Amino acid sequence: MAVDEIQKETFLKLLDQIRTQVGMLKKKNRELNKENQRLRNKLNEVHKDQTDIFSSISESERIAMRHQVNGLIKKIDKYLDE
């Protein structure tokens, strides 16, 4: 019976260690989830404040820019064909 008692005691100690580790990991997971949410909120705030380069120009300016880019592409194609 002494062997059974030692094995039972060892098992209970190991089980307690596992429970402690699981508790610590759950706590760490909660902390990381809170930090993740905080960073997501911060990112959303920064994203709201930003605008892309095209949202600040009018449609006619976009068309003119597209025309210039297409002209440059044609020049590059012509240069590469030569």
In degrees to the nearest 10, what's the CA dihedral of 48, 51, 52, 55?
120
CA dist 45 and 29 (Å) reads 24
- Concatenated DSSP letters of 32-59: HHHHHHHHHHHHHHHHHH---TTTTS-H
pLDDT class for 53, splitting at 50, 70, 90? low
Q: What pLDDT, in 10s, does the model give residues 22-50?
A: 999 999 999 999 999 999 999 988 877 77
Are 62 and 54 within 8 A, CB to CB?
Answer: yes
- What's the predicted TM-score (pTM) here? 0.53
